[in-house]
């Protein structure tokens, strides 16, 4: 698979039979819908694509997630949802036998997944748990973090459902599970193993659950969704409706670069141009041109009808320069208005 952006001459979704869709920042923001998400996903289903919603949020039951999606005109059942809680439980079972004890720091979804894996939940470090598993929940507080720290200090295996530092909400960007995990790391000096994205564990679990020969990963975060796609060998679509912007994509490390970029989930029904390297050394996409000169990005939006083409052209120029060892002046990379 190419290390750069890929082209698709027809509707993107026609090239795939399974889409693994992130939730926060892609399908919704908190409890609010994201524009065009329902229509884009409906079109994918109409084209025969199976959808599985893959989320690093471990706090909620799959049934609750499916209910929220359905309320936002994205019909879903629990079988359509794969959570980091389920992935964390699967990771725990790689080292723990049935009946082993686990201190669960997190919400109902994590407790259910751990119990379903045949493990015994305890509520105190004084119970000498074999492991501590930590997942996001708005109710997690200092006492919970302290209990986790006590258990980890006494030798319990430390597992995190995910390490997202932030989570998109309707009012803005809020601290995520990674921020809370960092408190336990700071207190103990112990880094946890993580089951969630960017590890490709959940993606492969989803493929194994429903089947699929041509899988597309869809996300808004480069360091989790798209890095997980790269790690798992899946093409990834970066939609610009959540945490990471077009500018972030241009400056992304090779390990988290997307294969496709779209303004929102309407991108599933659209063709995707890839930047073309021209003889003069510049990169062109849809009328926009970009080059790196002396470490600075020189961008000409030209007559590009789609503002995302400017992002794509800039990706071509900056990614190629970085791969050749050129140090990029990040101040020369603008924010892109793709509204």
In the annotation, is 24 catalytic? Answer: yes
Longest dimension (CA), the chain: 68
Q: Which of 22, 144, 248, 306 is catalytic?
A: 22
Give me the long-range contacts of 285-288 (CB less than 8 A, separation at least 24): 285/309, 285/310, 285/312, 285/313, 285/316, 286/312, 286/313, 288/312, 288/313, 288/314
Q: Which of 24, 144, 223, 306 is catalytic?
A: 24
Q: Which of 74, 91, 84 is nearest to 32 (CA)?
A: 74
In angstroms, what CA-CA distances link 14 with 45, 183, 259?
11, 44, 16
Burial 197-229 (b: 16+ CB within 10 A, else e): bbbbbbbbbbbeebebeebbbbbbbbbbbbbbb
In angstroms, what CA-CA distances link 203 with 54, 87, 119, 239?
7, 10, 23, 18
In the annotation, is 22 catalytic? Answer: yes
How far apart, in Å, do the first and last CA atoms of the chain sit?
30
Sheet hosting strand 283-285, strand order edge to edge: 276-277, 283-285, 288-293, 296-300
Contact 34, 21 (CB under 8 A): no
What residues are annotated to the active site?
A: 22, 24
């Amino acid at each position: 698979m190419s290390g750069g952006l890929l082209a698709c001459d027809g509707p993107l979704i026609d090239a795939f039979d399974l889409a693994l869709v992130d939730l926060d920042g892609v399908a919704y923001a908190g409890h609010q819908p994201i524009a065009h998400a329902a229509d884009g996903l409906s079109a994918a289903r109409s084209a025969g694509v199976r959808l599985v919603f893959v989320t690093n949020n471990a706090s909620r039951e799959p049934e609750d997630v499916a209910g929220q999606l359905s309320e936002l005109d994205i019909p879903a059942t629990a079988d359509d949802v794969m959570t980091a809680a389920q992935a964390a439980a699967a990771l725990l079972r790689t080292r723990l036998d049935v009946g082993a004890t686990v201190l669960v720091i997190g919400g109902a979804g994590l407790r259910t997944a751990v119990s379903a894996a045949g493990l015994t939940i305890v509520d105190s470090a004084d119970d000498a748990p074999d492991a501590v598993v930590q997942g996001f929940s708005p109710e997690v507080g200092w006492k919970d973090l302290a209990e986790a720290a006590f258990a980890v200090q006494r030798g319990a295996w430390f597992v995190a459902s995910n390490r997202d530092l932030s989570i998109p909400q309707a009012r803005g960007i809020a601290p995520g599970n990674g921020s809370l995990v960092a408190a336990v790391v700071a207190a103990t000096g112990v880094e946890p193993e993580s089951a969630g994205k960017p590890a490709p564990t959940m993606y492969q679990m989803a493929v194994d659950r429903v089947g699929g020969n041509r899988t597309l990963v869809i996300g808004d975060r480069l360091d989790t969704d798209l890095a997980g796609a790269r790690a798992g060998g899946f093409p990834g679509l970066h939609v610009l409706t959540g945490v990471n912007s077009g500018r972030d994509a241009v400056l992304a490390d090779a390990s988290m670069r997307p294969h496709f970029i779209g303004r929102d989930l309407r991108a599933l029904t659209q063709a995707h141009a890839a930047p073309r390297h021209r003889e003069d050394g510049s990169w062109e996409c849809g009328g926009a041109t970009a080059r790196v000169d002396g470490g600075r990005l020189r961008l000409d939006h030209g007559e590009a009808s789609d503002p995302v083409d400017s992002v794509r052209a800039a990706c071509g120029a900056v990614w190629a320069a970085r791969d050749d060892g050129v140090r990029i002046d990040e101040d020369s990379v603008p924010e892109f208005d793709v509204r």
